[in-house]
Structure 1
Amino acid sequence: MYYLLFLYFAFSSLFVLALYRLFFHPLCEYPGPPLAALTDWYQAYYNIVKGGGLVIKYEQLHKLHGPVIRVGPNTLHFNDRQAYHDIYTYGSTLVKHSELYDALGVHAPKSSIIFCDPEVSKQRRGSLQPLFSRRAVISLEYTIQQKVCVA
C-alpha cells in the first residue's frame, strides 16, 4: 500500500516538474526542443550516444529557431557575437551560473577567476589593484631585471 502511495507522489512530482519546466520556467519563452527543456539528458545523449553530435545538433537548432535556443532546463545556447560581448564584457552586471566555474574552484576556492557575481569580483579587483599600479611595478623592475638576466 505504501509503495503505491510513494509511486503516486513520485510520478505526480515529476509531472508537476515537467509542467513547470515547459510552461512556467523563466526560460520557457526561448525556443528549443521540449525534451531539452525537460532534462539535461538531452545533451548527454548527443554527446555520448551520438559520439559528440551535439555541436551538429546545435547548428540545426539554430537554423530552425534562430540565434538563441534552449538546450537544457536552465541552459541557453547563443549563436551571436553580440551575446558573447554582452555576457563577458568588463562591467557586465550579469550574475553567471556557478556550475560552469565549479571545476576551477576545486583547487583554489578563493581564486578571483571563479567569481560569478560582478560585485564580489569588483571588490577583489579593488583590493588587488594597488599591487599592479605603475609605482608597484616600477619598484619591482630591478628585481625582475636581475631574474631575467641571470636566466
Structure 2
Amino acid sequence: MSFFSLQMSNLLTGGPTDAQIFLSLALLGLASHMFFIRHRNVDRLVGIGFMPYLYVQFGLWLLLSIRSDPIKSGIFLWLANAAFYAPLFASISVYRLFFHPLKPFPGPSMARLTTWWGVNRLAMGEQRYQLHDELHRQYGKLVRIAPNYLSINSQEAVAIIYGPGTKCEKSNTFYGLRDAKSLQLEAEFTKHRARRPAWDKALSAKSMYIRHETKTSDLKYSLEAD
C-alpha cells in the first residue's frame, strides 16, 4: 500500500488504494454538480466560502501531518482537491456551455461560464447599468449576463414578468436578505399565496367601501360636534 493510502487509513478503515480514493473523489465531484449545484446559484458563494475552505484544508493538513511527513501530507491534499474539483468544474462548464436552459440566448462567452466574468470591469469603475447597456447594444434585447441570469431590455416584457399570473418567480435575495418579510416583499409564490387571502378580504372593494363610509361618518360627527 502506498504512502497516500496509508495517510487515509489513519482516518478510514479498510485502507483504500490511491486510485480508489481519487476515483471516489472524482465521482463525488460529478455527483455534487448533477444533484446539488446544477439548479443552484453557487457562484456568489465562492467568495463567502473561500476562507472557510482554507481553514478546513489547513485543519486536514495538520491532522495528516501528526503521523506523517508534512510535505507529503500537503501533496496528498493537493491531489485530493484536484481529483474532486477538476471533474466538478469540467462538468459545470460543459453543462453551462452546451446543456443549460439559457443556452439559446446570446451574451459574452465568459458570462455563460461564471457570474464573476464582469467583476474586473466593475472593479475598474464601470457602472453596472453602463455594462448592461453596452451588452444590449451588441447582443439585442435579451442578453445572458451570467450562467443563470438574463438582462431584458424590452417594454413588452414588463407585463409578462411582473403582471398578474406571471410565472416568473423572484430570487430569494431580490429584496435583500431579511428575516421578516411583508406580503409585498415575499418573493416565493407558495408563501405569498398562503398569506394573500387575508389581505384580499381586508382590501376588497366591499371592505374598502364600508371602511370609507365609517371614516366619513366619523368625520361628519366630529365636524358637527365642533
TM-score, structure 1 length as denominator? 0.77
1:38 aligns with 2:113: yes
1:91-130 aligned at under 5 Å gives the runs: 91-103=165-177, 106-109=178-181, 111-118=182-189, 120-130=191-201
Partners of 2:220 and 2:115 lie apart in 1 by: 52
Q: Which runs of 5+ in 2 are unaligned?
A: 1-74, 222-226
Partner of residue 31, structure 2: none
Larger radius of gyration: 2
Aligned residues with identical type, % of pairs: 26
Indicate yes or no: 2:130 matched with 1:56: yes
Report the 3-state secondary structure (helix = DSSP H, G, I; strand = E; otherwise coil) of the residue aligned with 2:184: helix
CA distance in 1, matches of 2:144, 2:171: 15
Cα deviation, 1:43-89, whole Å, max 9, x if unaligned, reads 43332x12133322222221221100000111100111111221111
State the aligned residue count: 143
Q: CA deviation at 1:42?
A: 2.2
- Amino acid aligned to 1:97: S
Q: Secondary structure at the match of 1:113?
A: coil
Give the equivalent residue in structure 2 for 1:26: 101
Alignment of 1:4-23 (within 5 A): 4-23=79-98
Q: Structure 1 pair 141/15, CA: closer, same or farther in 2 (3 Å)?
A: farther
Per the alignment, do residues 141 and 66 of structure 1 end up closer, same or farther by CA in structure 2, a change over 3 Å counting? same
Equivalence for 2:35: none
Q: Deviations over 1:91-142 (max 9, x none)?
A: 3232222231343xx1523x11222244543443321123222213433455
**Are the counterparts in 2 of residues 130 and 136 from structure 1 also a CA contact under 8 Å?**
no
Query: Partners of 1:137 and 1:121 in 2: how far apart?
Result: 27
Q: Which of 27-36 and 127-136 deviates more?
A: 127-136
**Residue 83 of structure 1 aligns to which amino acid in structure 2?**
A
Preserved CA contact (<8 Å) 1:61 1:69: yes
TM-score normalised by the chain length of structure 2: 0.54
Structure 1 gap segments, 5+ residues each: 147-151
* Cα distance in 1, alignment partners of residues 220 and 111 from structure 2: 56
Aligned equivalents of 1:97, 1:78: Cα separation in 2: 16
